[in-house]
Chain A
Amino acid sequence: MSAITREEVAHLARLSRLALADEELDHFAAQLDQIVGAVARVAEVATADIPPSSHALPLTNVFRPDVVAPSLTPEQALSGAPAVEDDRFRVPRILGEEA
């Protein structure tokens, strides 16, 4: 049985903000299903008594002093922007028409 269906890929693509074409959905469904089937093996040894590791080093809450230092100018910060207006990033509308 497939774990990853075409519908599941469409859902993942929506969550991932990827506007995939129809033929991509089928292609990725088969490949993701194969990958998920292979990596599911991790559950064989992951028993309840083993603590998870999110990281290789035992680090917690690393801070540096909160001091003002030179930073980017507005021109530098905006230098790679797709669209700029009045020293700001210009973006497409983020609210619906009726909002």
Chain B
Amino acid sequence: MSELIKKTAAELGSLIASGEVSAVEVAQAHLDRIAAVEDRVHAFLHVGAEAALAQAAAVDARRAAGEELGPLAGVPIAHKDVFTTKDMPTTAGSKILEGWRPPYDATVTRRLREAGLVILGKTNLDEFAMGSSTENSAYGPTHNPWDLTRIPGGSSGGASASVAAYEAPLSTGTDTGGSIRQPAAVTGIVGMKPTYGGSSRYGLIAFASSLDTPGPFARNVMDAALLHEAFSGHDPMDSTSIDQPVPSVVEAARQGDVAGLTVGVVKEFGGDGYQPGVLARFQEAVELLESLGAKVVEVSCPSFTYALPAYYLIAPSECSSNLARFDAMRYGLRVGDDGTRSAEEVMALTRAAGFGPEVKRRIMLGTYALSSGYYDAYYGSAQKVRTLISRDFDAAFQHVDVLISPTTPTTAFPIGERADDPMAMYLADLCTIPSNLAGNAALSVPCGLADEDGLPVGLQIMAPVLGDDRCYRVGAAVERAFESRWGGPLLSKAPAL
């Protein structure tokens, strides 16, 4: 096993920039690692070895020609298979898009290429990013590198597993209800949901458009900040993209300091339904923040207890509309077109064959919530809860700089345990959903291992809209203090694959 795969993205970037190693060597080391562990982890739906080596060679040629390259030029990345890529298949984890090659690149994809990042392949996900375990992928589950019988989180479970298994130093994800933060927490890595509109949705296959947010995964806070800066920023192709400068997250990660900050502990996120080992590690993080000079206070956000039900009305409603585009006419699967059936019959047969159970459930749930007669009671009420949640955040941020909570109520659960119990599965996103509904920034950083099962626990750090830098500033301080206590990154305690 090459030592290169254990390096941080920042280290790899400077080794490549100085010419000590070539981007091709770095790409090859990660492709070798993928070849060695993928049969057990299954993080990828597609590995593009040839294309990756060609991209790496192009970076080496540019460096040799004396070109000034960015900090991540030549660094490999695993790309969630929900972003369109011209040179690779894009499936969104669904059979309805099996074998589809998009005719265009997502803005995030384009910016990765422009930064010189080397795309190794596309990572597994719950179908159309709907799920918390990656078990809803039509192509089989991904396995958590800490314990291969457990889920890696979801929907960005291939993304989290690829980074935790050292198959890539960085990966992209998308977070609609916690799909970056929850997988990061349960695999012991860093995951960031930027402020909604801070990263472009153009070319991101839509699930719930008012919530979907691309963001970075990495093994440390600085690497996540570097990737965040590389693909964020205004995009005229996304009408909900924020036309303001990206918060200086790399600088904040470099500072990593909480002295003088006020940190609010969300009172509603704890107690019944939370694993004791998760609460114990969270309490240690609270004490750590105090020891680093932060003032810690308890904050009540009463509407947060209604976030989960509001989300499971709003997200399915938006998905029922968004997924209407899969109509078997212009791209993707077509089933039953035997010359006798109408377009409408072909459409219904194709969608029944091409979508998995969770996607069908959500489409029908959303259709129900938007039906006349039910609209006010369900979708309308959920939109009002959304207002209340934003008000709770606004009130809290009058008094505190950041809010904290456990990222998830439990550690990674066994594959299969919640597979046919949708309500139990939905609870995995209990603490992450409020920040999707309000659109604010939120980060998950490793916070230790639960005593009961020895599995990773995540600390969630929430900041106001466009306060992404605060997440990184606090996250870097917590990471540095914890790592000096642990004697290295949490991931170094993971069993060897």
Residues of A within 8 A of B (CB): 4, 8-9, 12-21, 24, 28, 31-32, 34-36, 38-47, 50-57, 59, 62, 64, 72, 76-77, 79-83, 89, 91-94, 96
Contact = CB atoms under 8 A, between A and B. Distances in A.
B348 to A, nearest CB: 4
B342 interface: yes
Interface string B299-312: 00001001001101
A28 B210 contact: no
Nearest to A73: B103
Contacts of B348: 14, 17-19
A64 B388 contact: no
Interface-central residue, B303, B361, B385, B437, by most chain A CB under 10 Å:
B385
A34 B423 contact: yes
Nearest to B359: A18
B31 interface: no
A53 B196 contact: no
B328 A82 contact: yes
B465 A56 contact: yes
Contact of A56 (B102, B103, B196, B344): B196
Given A42-B382, A56-B438, A35 B352 contact: no
B333 to A, nearest CB: 7
B361 A31 contact: yes
B390 A56 contact: yes
Dominant secondary structure of chain B at its interface with chain A: helix
Interface string B369-399: 0010000011011111111101000000000
Contact of A53 (B309, B352, B390): B390
Given A4-B368, A17-B324, A53-B387, 9 more contacts: A18-B360, A19-B348, A19-B351, A35-B361, A35-B365, A40-B377, A42-B382, A46-B380, A56-B386
Interface in B253-285: none
Given A19-B351, A80-B101, A57 B196 contact: yes
Given A42-B310, A51-B387, A93-B343, A82 B329 contact: yes
Contact of B309 (A14, A42, A91, A96): A42
B interface bracket (residues with beta carbon within 8 Å of A): 35 or more
Given A15-B367, A18-B360, A56-B439, A62 B239 contact: yes
Contact of B384 (A16, A35, A51, A57): A51
A52 B380 contact: yes
B166 interface: no
Given A18-B363, A53-B390, A57-B197, A93 B342 contact: yes
B486 interface: no
Given A19-B349, A42-B310, A52 B364 contact: no
Contact of A32 (B103, B361, B437): B361
6 contacts: A8-B368, A39-B309, A42-B310, A82-B337, A83-B334, A92-B346
Contacts of B303: 45
Contacts of B368: 4, 8, 12, 32, 36
A56 B196 CA distance: 7
